[in-house]
Copies of this chain bind each other. A is one copy, B any other.
């Protein structure tokens, strides 16, 4: 389930406040989901709750971390140390969530050798060696879209089977390799769609509808994420 990481973050937050147990409703609120959904999700990994009491925070953290494969600190290779790559390399939020940025790679000779956060940028050609030395488990692509497919091929060639892609393009990879994409422009466009839809809906009853703005109202706003009412 893609919601487990969300639960995990909420659980860590609760643990810091001192909670030892949480009810499904409490955790559901903290994670922003339905309590029934949360219980069903957790039941998929076993019965780790106590009826009448709730869930043991520490136990649940361990269980989720195990299921997510975070018992071992996974090594991440970041390819493309440009604008975005610098921000990612300097981010400490990965280390605190079970990951270790083990390598920074770039094709630009002028960038090679640069030191960021205690890590030296190495040339992409060294990827095969770095991959085995650091036992890379996840590759992050932060190169321009034109280079993304080539980089993905190189990552796959050295045995990486999980890729996080920031370039706005679709990657073609062999079966068995997982790719997740993060495209910020798409996120903004989805928000723009909702803005347009909201504007149309409020304008319609007043103006009677201009026939131009009537169209978006007929589209279901089926997103991956939903608005959170208060």
Residues of A whose CB lies within 8 Å of any CB of B are: 1-2, 4-6, 8-10, 13, 30-32, 44-46, 66-70, 74, 76, 83-84, 86-88, 90-91, 93-94, 97-99, 137-138, 161-164, 168-199, 215-216, 218-220, 222-225, 227-230
Contact = CB atoms under 8 A, between A and B. Distances in A.
A190 B180 contact: yes
A215 B178 CA distance: 20
A80 to B, nearest CB: 12
Contacts of A98: 188-189, 192
A76 B90 CA distance: 25
Interface on chain A toward B: helix, strand, loop, or mixed SS? mixed
A46 B218 CA distance: 10
Given A1-B222, A45-B215, A94-B185, A137 B68 contact: no
B170 A94 contact: no
B45 A188 contact: no
A178 B196 contact: no
13 contacts: A1-B219, A5-B185, A5-B186, A8-B189, A67-B216, A83-B91, A94-B184, A94-B188, A97-B188, A137-B192, A178-B191, A179-B225, A180-B187
Contact of A162 (B86, B164, B192, B229): B192
Nearest to A186: B5
Given A179-B227, A198-B176, A219-B45, A189 B68 contact: yes
A192 B87 contact: no
A4 B193 CA distance: 10
B180 A219 contact: no
B180 A164 contact: no
A98 B196 CA distance: 13
Given A69-B193, A138-B195, A168 B94 contact: no
A228 B164 contact: no
Contacts of A13: 169
A74 B195 contact: yes
